[in-house]
């Protein structure tokens, strides 16, 4: 996945485009508002404290430049190996950063329109003082020369923001918001997404589950964040997405935010874990009264336990090459098999694919919504948490809040299922040719398996 730069002179609309990209569900960063750009002393090369607009004197501007450290962009490029990312900024050291981007877009305006924007905008004070106007005009020829020299994709920024973002999405393929084993999610409108499925069963599952959830929400069910509404469901048509053909599609409400996985590194894990723990407790306790309705319309089977046994564990034992991992899976399967009665007697309705890619968050760690409800149904509440337990630093905070709220977590069940999952991941990812750090995965497997052994009852 690539990293893209959206540049342009001050007043050209970079921040507006950045906000629009975020609203469509993309991961985008604003050089100024996300504090990636800093003023650097051109003699010492050291950053200085952010200056108030009235402190940017002529002398200051002559001895400083507004740059983004190369390491900052390299870190974004590393993250972009797994997800498309946008950076909206116009650093003065742009020349040295260009090779780190897959493509660069430049927003360009007529000069009178741009100067009028600078004079009247209220979200940024730059460009109003006389010395700043002079500085800006001096930088302009260099910027325009750079656009031509590096072959930037120049965009007329006088267009509506929606048209600019539409064009950027079309040129980069970033209307694809997410892709997994079961299908692909594509941006549709400012308020909706389309999800295409590899099988009719997965399409049917999510469609019917969302309808059930909408019905119990009308009756008062709430988990404290958004469950997407189903807008339209269609089959027997042909859609081409990234060169692959799909025949089943659900159009759903778009939930703003980024996945908790994409923002996992560097987050305040305590806040994030506390918020996730609260949401999950509400779901597990609040859904109990709706179990009879579920049983009346759906299977009473614990499909998550069946999936863990018949898919994940079976694939490890059949296709896995790590003998230690296979023995650990056999141990975990036997343990869960012996406790089937416990698992069957303490079930609740739950999202059964609880991983960080299905949790959408804001920049301050609030949970905006849960997505991907194709796997939903009756299971033991602890069993449903197993994927989250594979991230120990975050899991500690989720568990603490869940139990503080009054919930009970069976560590033995969580870690048994997590052991099976972590042994399965390298098998399936290798088969599907996905990138994976196997050493890190097996290291976590050993850590989780030891926790399973320590918590056996």
Name all domains of the chain by residue range, CATH numbers in brackets.
Answer: 3-174 (3.40.50.300), 177-253 (3.30.200), 258-454 (3.90.1200.10)
Give the CA count within 13 Å in the CB-facing half-sphere of 6: 29
Query: Tell me, what's the pLDDT at 435?
Result: 59
Query: One digit per residue, pLDDT tens: the chain, 457 residues?
Result: 589 999 988 888 888 899 888 877 678 999 988 889 888 888 888 888 765 444 677 777 777 888 999 999 999 998 887 678 899 998 989 889 999 999 999 998 888 887 777 777 766 776 567 777 777 777 788 888 889 889 999 999 898 888 898 888 878 866 777 777 788 898 777 688 889 998 999 999 999 999 999 999 999 999 999 999 999 999 987 776 766 788 899 999 999 888 888 766 567 899 999 999 999 999 999 999 999 999 999 989 999 999 999 999 999 999 999 999 999 999 999 999 999 999 999 999 999 999 999 999 987 889 999 999 999 999 999 999 999 999 999 999 999 999 999 999 999 999 999 999 999 998 887 666 555 677 888 899 999 999 999 999 9
Q: How far apart (Å, rounded) are the C-alpha atoms in residues 42 and 24?
A: 38
Q: For residue 384, what are the CA distances in angstroms to 189, 283, 299, 351, 380?
A: 32, 11, 17, 7, 7
Whether residue 398 contacts residue 411, with contact meaning beta carbons closer than 8 Å, is answered with no
Question: How far is the C-alpha of 30 from the C-alpha of 122, rounded, in Å?
Answer: 16
pLDDT at residue number 331: 98
The pTM of this model reads: 0.67
How much is the pLDDT for 51? 54
Instruction: Look at residue 141 in the predicted model and tell me its pLDDT.
Output: 83
Name residues whose C-beta falls within 8 Å of residue 317's C-beta, 6 or more positions apart in sequence: 326, 329, 330
- The confidence score (pLDDT) of residue 258 equals 83
Taking Cα atoms as reference points, which of 147, 3, 18, 8 lies closest to residue 74? 3
pLDDT computed for residue 206 by the predictor: 96
Q: How far apart are CA 217 and CA 214, in angstroms?
A: 5
């Amino acid at each position: 996945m690539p990293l893209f730069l959206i540049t342009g002179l001050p007043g050209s609309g970079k921040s507006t485009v950045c906000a629009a990209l975020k609203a469509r569900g993309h991961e985008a960063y604003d050089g100024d508002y996300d504090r990636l750009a800093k003023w650097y002393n051109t003699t010492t090369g050291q950053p200085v404290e952010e200056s108030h607009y009235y402190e940017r004197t002529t002398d200051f501007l002559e001895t400083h430049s507004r740059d983004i450290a190369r390491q900052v962009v390299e870190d974004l490029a590393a993250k972009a190996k797994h997800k498309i990312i946008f950076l909206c900024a116009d650093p003065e050291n742009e020349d040295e950063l260009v090779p780190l981007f897959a493509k660069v877009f430049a927003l360009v305006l007529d000069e009178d329109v741009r100067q009028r924007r600078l004079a009247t905008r209220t979200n940024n004070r730059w460009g109003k003082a006389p010395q700043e106007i002079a500085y800006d005009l001096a930088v302009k020829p260099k910027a325009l020369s750079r656009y031509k020299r590096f072959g930037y994709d120049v965009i007329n920024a006088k267009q509506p923001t929606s048209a600019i973002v539409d064009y950027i999405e079309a040129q980069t393929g970033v209307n694809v918001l997410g892709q997994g084993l079961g299908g692909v999610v594509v941006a549709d409108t400012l308020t909706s997404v389309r999800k295409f499925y590899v099988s009719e069963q997965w399409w049917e599952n999510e469609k019917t589950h969302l309808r059930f959830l909408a019905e119990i929400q009308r009756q008062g069910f709430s988990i404290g964040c958004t469950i997407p509404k189903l807008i339209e469901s269609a089959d027997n048509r042909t859609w081409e997405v990234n060169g692959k053909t799909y025949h089943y599609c659900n159009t759903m409400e778009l939930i703003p935010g980024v996945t908790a996985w994409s923002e996992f590194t560097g987050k305040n894990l305590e806040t994030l874990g506390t918020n996730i723990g609260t949401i999950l407790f509400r779901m597990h306790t609040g859904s109990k009264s709706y179990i009879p309705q579920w049983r009346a319309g759906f299977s009473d089977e614990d499909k998550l336990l069946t999936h863990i046994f018949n898919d994940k564990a079976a694939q490890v034992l059949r296709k896995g090459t790590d003998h230690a991992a296979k023995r650990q899976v056999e141990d975990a399967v036997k343990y869960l098999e012996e406790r089937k009665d416990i698992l069957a007697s303490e079930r609740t309705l739950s999202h059964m694919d609880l991983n960080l890619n299905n949790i959408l968050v804001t920049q301050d760690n609030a949970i905006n919504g849960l997505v991907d409800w194709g796997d939903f149904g009756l299971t033991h509440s602890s069993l449903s948490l197993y994927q989250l337990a594979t991230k120990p630093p975050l899991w500690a905070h989720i568990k603490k809040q869940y139990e503080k709220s009054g919930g009970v977590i069976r560590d033995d069940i969580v870690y048994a299922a997590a052991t099976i999952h972590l042994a399965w991941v390298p098998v399936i990812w290798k088969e599907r040719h996905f990138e994976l750090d196997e050493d890190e995965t097996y290291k976590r497997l050993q850590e989780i398996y030891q926790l399973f052994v320590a918590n056996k009852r």
